[in-house]
Structure formats: structure tokens, C-alpha cells
Chain A
Amino acid sequence: MADSDSSRGDEARTYAKAGEIFDALCDAEGAARSVALERWRAAEPEAARLAERMLERDGTQGSLAFLEDARSSAVQDEHDPAGVLGATLGAYRIERLLGRGGMGAVYLGRRSDPDARVALKFVTLSAVPAAALERFHREALLLARIDHPGVVRYRDSGVDAHGRPYLAMDLIDGEPLSAAVPELGRDVQACVRLVVALAEAVHHLHQRGVLHRDLKPSNVLLRRDARGLRPVVIDLGIARALADAQGHQGACESADSITGPLGFGPLGTPAFMSPEQARTGTHPDVRTDVHALGAILYALLTGHPPRGLDQIPSSDPLEFHRRLQESEARPPSQVVDADVFGASLARERRRVVDRDLDAVLLKAVAQDPEERYGSAEALASDLQRWLQGLPVEAHRIGRLGRLRRLVRRRPAESVLVLGLGALLAAGTVAIVGSRAAQVRARVRYEEQLAISRELNRFFTEGLLQRAMPELEGPQMPVIDLLRAASEKVGHEELPPVVAVSIGATLMEVFERLGASDEADAELERISDVALELDPDDRYRLLFELQRAVLLTRRSEWSAAEQGFLSVLRRLEGAGAPELEARAANGLGHVLLSVGRLDEAQPWLERALELFEGELAETRGGQRDGIWEVWGNLAILRWSRGELEGTVAALEELLSVFEAQFGERSPFGLGILSNLASVELDRLRPEKALVHARRSVDIADAVFEADHPDRLSALNQLASCLSFLGDFDEAIALRREVYAGRLERLGPNNSAVGVALNNLASTLARAGRHAEGREAAERGLDVLLGTLGDANPATASAYLTLAVIEQALGEGEGARALFVDAIEVYEAAEGDHSAAIEEARVHLESLETPGR
């Protein structure tokens, strides 16, 4: 013991001495250093030897590399920056250096069996933490599935001897776009066609969830084929993946630049950057790539990227930043550079680049992403229109603008009507209807007209004016007002049809306000009266319609479906377009909710046809109704994967609602929630979060805690938070949603199953697998029992459980569940390709252990 203590003491002394020598030698140079070393060798032989060997290791990237912070940089050999020449990595032998840049180097690799040449891209900075590597490989796996002639084909990925990731991709025989400028320069149309092809390739990427983030002329190679020059996008998402792997945020700019001198500005300048990429706290989305596509065409046409960013000296980053952040680009026709193209060509070009093309480009590179094209595809098609000599969209006022104007024209009417549209819907039943029907039942029509006047008076004068907070009158909670109305209906001697009509409406309104018990009581109160009416009586049908609406809101899908169908069958030829439209919309909604998209579509179209046709000129609740149909049609598009169109439709709808009711109206709640969902689907969580927070704020202000619409809003918010990694709050919200729905809807309800699945999925993301498993199993049971095994919600529950089983090490179980998930997704209608892809990636990782 004493022996080892004393030997440790000696070692410590040697280490300390070696440290002194080390410092001294570091400070000395040349001859002085040799002299000092000689002296130390004589005086302290052991310590001097240690110091010398430590010096050999000084600054090397060896065994510690994987722990090193990326801040330190390795010493690089100019001809072999990654230090891999001649090495064999996986299936590839590294033959020569093709190009290099700030953080990356590209080598030519050869694969022997089958014989193929690839480009291998390396990171040349220090090593990478394993977690980042894993992320990198996952991204590489996704990239490897992208197969499009306009996108470089990724083949493989791996790590080199220093733990640094590399990617293997097809070698493209072509030159960078930047080098081809002189040739393209003569032909504006050719430039536009080229960018159309480029935009189509980029759109393909976007549809597969990949953002490029760093599009610029040096990242586009031109391959010559029979049809001329074809662009091929390289370095997709890789810059970012590599930068992330390095722990460098926002360092994407320097991660590539493998090509020769560019037509525009020095290598590696961020001249093609979008304004939002220079801001902190904003995340790039598809419109960032849209900006880059516009910037590329802008540069091809004018000789410079937008805002003249290539002309700011790199010594002046503040000016660069200011111009990027504050200025809009000038119309390209005004900035064609005669120094680049020569005077006569520049003149010609200023003529060919007309106002339309100016408009398209300015829209594409707008400072505010909101003002740009919503997708690369939209940019491509507008450029296509320009090529064909058609008017471009960039000029046109959208449907939104037209709707806004419509609302401005008819403000007074809409406030009341839309305020509680459902209330008035009952009152308008009698006054709409085709002329034929009116003739067939003239007497009855007169009678109903009288009733409807009475109803309108009852609601608008007696109740509604006081219910609308904007209007003058005592501040009485709506619910109390309605309770009073309900009392009145219960006690007053009213003709059966009036009682049924008011009761049916109250039923719906109570339900909408979250007062399920009162809605049930109302249902109870009037069903006897209603069911005594003739089966074809409008008010009987109205009652049944409202009952089906109520069932829909409680997610009792099959009962609701039966209800709507039965109403629709009896309405055939009855000349009651309002009822028919509402029932068709209701049925469409139910079918959508259970994933029967193809069946839902004709019903929704029928409803729209009625609202836009026979009902277009009638006053009353149809305005409310038509927006519901638009909302449902938007959901239909969404279910089929048309995210872009869905967002546009929902935003339009929202803006119309807000124009009517202000920004804090509960009527926009569902739209906000749906918008949040779609934005999440589009991988834009920040945007989604804004919508979700707003809808929860509104719901908190308007509804009681357990109101179903509030719970839906909470659920949406939880999804956003979970996506963004804020698990604690997300889980708390998930639990609240689950508890609320369980209380209100009972255990065997699909909405409860969905809540369980969501809870499980968030728990899993937070690493709480054991808890997650329990919730996932229960959720799956409920969903199988309620929605069956051809439904996307059920498939999602399989997927959740599978991920959890995988995490808990139950590989076999997980495998089977992933397969189930894929099967169920495939059996369900709609576009579930992203989810299926996710499941496949998981499956693959199970099948190649070690990956």
C-alpha cells in the first residue's frame, strides 16, 4: 500500500515536472528549444521523455476526438483534407480529391462490386458526437429514398476513422449552374425553363419532407441530355445535417462549395440566403427554398442575386445583414448588369424581362415569406404560364380578396345571421325551398312562413340580441339565456312544430356550448312531440337532423351516419334544400371522420352545390352552413395529402370569419385548430404553435373547462409542444384532454381512443415508455372497437405501440406491430405515405441490428 502510494507520488511529481518542461518547450523555438531540451534530458530524464511525447500529441485529434467540441479545428492537408486518400471505407476505395470547401471535401470513390464510381462527401472538421451521427444517418436514409432525375441520388452513408460522417452519392457528369451562365445568358426563356425544372425537382423534395435550405447556383449541376441542359440539385439537406452533426448551428453556408469560381461573387458568400435564414428564432420552410429558386433565376437574368448581396464586401457584414433584412429586391428588368452581359444583350434582356416576369420574381423573393409563393410547384406553374404567354398569378387577386369584398358589402346582415347561425337556421327552414315545392304546398307554405316569422322574432328579438355581447343590452351569459328559453318552451303552450323547431335548435346550441346534459334534456323533452309528427314533416326531419348533429359531436359515428342517411332519404324531392344541404354536409363530415373519403366527397359536393345554387340568394343560416362545407372540403383535401391547398383554403376561411367576428371569436376555433394540424403536417411547428396557442386562448376565454372544443384545442396545442420537445406541458395537456373526454363521452368512444393514443405517443417521445405502453394498448383497443382496422387513427395507434415496444427492447413484438400499422394505413383511404414511410424506416432499423 505504502509502496503504491509512494509510486503514485513519484508519478505525480514526474507529471508536474513534465508539465513545466512542456510549457518551457512550447515557449522556446529553434536552437533555444534544442538547448533547453538537452538540459532537461540531463536533469530530469523521465519527465523530459514524457514531455517530449506529450508534445508529439499536442493538438492532435486522436482518441479524444469524439469528445472534442467542434470549436477546435484539425490541421488539414490541402490535397487530402479529410485524410482518407487511398483508404477503403465500406464498399468504396477513395481514389482522388474532387473538391473542397470550408467544412467539407468531396472525393471520388470506386466500388468494385458492382463497379461504380461515386462521389463521397466528408466533413473535415473535428469529430462528431454519436447522437448527432445517428440523426445524420437517419436523414441519410431518408435521402436515399429520393429518386428524381432532378435530384442527385444518394446511395450510402457511413463514418470514417475519425468518427466523421460521409455520404456516398452518384457522380454527376456536369458543371455547376454558375459556370454555365455565359451559355445560358443569351436566352431568357431557357433560363426560365431551367428554373421551372429546378423548382419541380425541389417540389419533389418538399413533398418528401426534405428542405434544401441552401439552394444556390453552385449547388445545381447541369447535366446535358438529349433535351438540352437538365438541372440536378446536389447537397440537399446535407449542409444542414452536416452542420448539425458538427454542432454548428447555421453553419450550412460553408459546408459545401466544392465547385470552381462562380459567376457571382466569391465562393461561400451567403448571397442567395433568404432574409429569414439570417434571423434568429425563425425556421426555414418550403418558402425559404422558394426564395432561393427565385434568387437563382434573378441572378441568371440580371447577373446578380436579389438585393445586390454579392456586391457587399465581406468586410462589411452589417451592411450585408441590413440589406438582407430590410430591403425588398428591385424589379429584375431594372437591374440587368451591362458589365455582365454586354451592352446590347443587356438592352435586349431588359425588354424580354417584362412586367409579368418582374412580378413573378418579386413575389418569389419577397422579404416576408407570407408574400411568396406557397410552394415551389406554385412558382413553377406561374413561370410556366409566363412561358406560355398567359397572365401570371402573381398579379391576380385571390379568392380571399373577393370574399373580403363580399363581406364588406353585406356586413349588417351577416353579424346576426352568423352570430348563432344555428339558431336562425331553424327559422329559415320554411322560407327557403324550390318554387315547385312551394307550389305543391302553398297552403302549408303560408302557414310555415307565419311560424318562421314567429321563430325569428323569438330568437332575434327575444334572445339573440341579448346573447351577442357586441349588441346593447344586459350582459347575460348565453347559456342562462338559453336555459330561460328552454324553460319557456317547456311551459308555454306552443304549436308542436314551433316547440320542436325551437327545441331542436336549443339542443344543438347547448351541445355547441358544451352543455351536454342540457342538450340531452332538450332531446328528451321534444322527442315525444317530434316523433308524433308525420315522418316527412320538415320539423320532424329538422329534429332528426339536429339529433344526428348531436351524435356527430359526440363522435358516435355510426348512429350519426344512420340519422343523416334516414333524413336524406326522406328529403328526396321534398324541396327543402337547406335541410338537405345541412344533412349532406353532416353525413360528409361523419364519413370524413371515419376515413371514408371517397364516400364523403359526393355528399360534400352536393351540399356545396345546394349552398352555392338554390340557397345562394336566400337569407339566413346558409352562410354559416357553406363555411362548414368549405371547412370539410379543406379537411378532405388534407386527408388526401394536399397540404398546400388545405392551408390556403383554411386561411381564407379564417380571414373571412375574423372579418365577421373579430379575432377572438369562438367560431374560428375549429379552423385555427385545423390550421395548426396542417402546419404540423407540413413540418412548420412554430406556425402551428401560434395557431394552437391562439385557439386555446380563445377557448379558455369562451368555454368552460371541459368543453369539447376547448379539449380539442388543448389537444392541438399538446401536439405542437410535443413536436417541439416541450414534453412536460404536452403530457399534462394530453392527460387533461383524455380525462375530459372520458368523463363526457364514456370509455368506448373513438375520441377517447384518439386521446389515449396521443397521450401514449407523447409519453413515448418523452422517454416514459412504460406509462406510454399502457395508454397505447388501451387506446388501440378502443380504436379497434370503434373505428375498426381500416382507419388511419387505428393505424396510428399501432404505430405508437410499435415504437414503444421497440424502445422497450421488444423487437419481435414491435416488428409485428409495425407491419400491422403499415397494413392498416394501406387499407385506410387517403394519403398516409409519410406515416407508412416512418413505419418502414423503423422496421428497417429493426432488421439491421447495429444501425
Chain B
Amino acid sequence: MDELSRTLYDEIRSVASVLLRREYRDRSIGATDLAHEALERALRQGAAQGIEREEILRRCARLCRQVLVDQARARGRTKRGEGKRPLSIEVEPAVTDGLGALDLLAVDEALERLSRLDERHGQIVELRFFGGQSMEEIAGILGLSLSAVEKAWRKARAWLELELGEGKRG
């Protein structure tokens, strides 16, 4: 990790811990919340170092994902044993614990596979889910047309749903 990423990572982690505190401990937190809180500070810091906005947004999404996944891993380990794949989600009233966490790990792995198939698609999903960016913003960040981003998003999303759905059955 370079200097900016390291600062960003710490920044995001501290934002995450604040958010977690607000929502009480042991909860997974919304990626979008996290991204927005972290972004403002990250942009300030990045600007000071002369790094372009698009670059910061891209890295921020990546790091949000990393923080969330790290968190989910830590929790997954302590709660349900490491590396278990999620089963289909049975409804238990008022029990949300762990649900997001384990799904998140599965998404992360699937996203990793997607990135190997098509790096750009992986980036779009990452910016969308973990960076909390809109389609227009993503187009701006990646220097693509809006329709190209939308098309790619639709495919990537369908592929992920497929991949995750099979994972559950298997």
C-alpha cells in the first residue's frame, strides 16, 4: 500500500469504527454510509497531496471494500467458524447478526473472480457497491460513457447473482 492508500485505509477504518459505535458493536455497516463519511476526508487529504479526484474515488471504493471484508472476516471467524459459505438465509425475526457479514465475504470472493474475467466490470461493481457512486459518477471516474457503464453494470450484476446463487445451492 502506498502512503495515500494507507492513510485512507486508516481513515476509513476509523470512520467505520465510529459508525459501528453508533450502531452498537458487532453489526456490519452499510457500504454506502462508510464510503460517504470517508470520502469527504479522503478528498481533502488527497487534494492536499495533489492526487486527482477520480483516483481517490477509485481507491476509496477499493479500501471501503477491504475494510468491510476485513471486518466481516473477523466476525465470521469468531461467530460461525472460518470459511463457511452462507446457507440460504432462513428468516429469524430480529436476528440480523452475521447475515450481512457472511454474504459480504461471498460477494467479495465472487467479485474477485469477476475482476479476473473482466477487470473493468469488477471496478464498476466495486465503485457502485463499495464506493456508493452513481452510474454517472462511475462513468466520470472511469472515463467511460454512461451507457457503456450501464450496460456493463447490468451484465456484471447478473453474472454475480448467478455466481452467488449457485454458491448457495452448492
Contact = CB atoms under 8 A, between A and B. Distances in A.
B20 A64 contact: no
A765 B21 contact: yes
Contact of B116 (A12, A18, A55, A158): A12
Q: Is the interface of B mostly helix, strand, loop or mixed?
A: helix
A93 to B, nearest CB: 12
B165 A58 contact: no
B31 A67 contact: yes
A284 interface: no
A63 B103 contact: yes
B93 A63 contact: no
Contacts of A90: 91-94
Contacts of A129: 29-33, 100
Contacts of B21: 764-767, 769, 807
A54 interface: yes
A29 to B, nearest CB: 17
Contacts of B32: 69, 129, 247
A651 interface: no
B96 A133 contact: yes
A159 B94 CA distance: 6
B95 to A, nearest CB: 5
Nearest to A137: B94
Most chain A CB neighbours (cut-off 10 Å) among B22, B33, B151: B22
A57 B158 contact: yes
Given A19-B155, A54-B155, A766-B18, A130 B96 contact: yes
B19, B90, B161 — most chain A CB neighbours (10 Å): B161
Interface string B131-170: 0100000000000000000011011011111101101100
A170 interface: no
Contact of A63 (B94, B129, B165): B165
Contacts of A87: 91
A568 to B, nearest CB: 49
A769 B21 CA distance: 9
A12 B107 contact: no
Contacts of B27: 130-131, 134
Contact of A131 (B17, B28, B129): B28
Nearest to A63: B164
Contact of A62 (B19, B97, B116, B165): B165
Given A134-B24, A765-B21, A64 B164 contact: yes
Nearest to A806: B25
A845 interface: yes
Interface in A25-64: 26, 53-60, 62-64
B93 A157 contact: yes
Contact of A130 (B100, B116, B154, B164): B100
A67 B91 CA distance: 18
B19 A131 contact: yes
Interface string A4-16: 0000100110011
B118 interface: yes
Contacts of B160: 63-64
Interface in B98-140: 99-100, 103-104, 106-107, 116-118, 128-129, 132
Contacts of B91: 87-90, 158-161
Given A19-B152, A129-B31, A158-B94, 15 more contacts: A23-B151, A57-B159, A63-B107, A63-B165, A64-B157, A67-B104, A87-B91, A134-B96, A158-B92, A158-B95, A159-B91, A161-B91, A725-B22, A850-B95, A851-B95
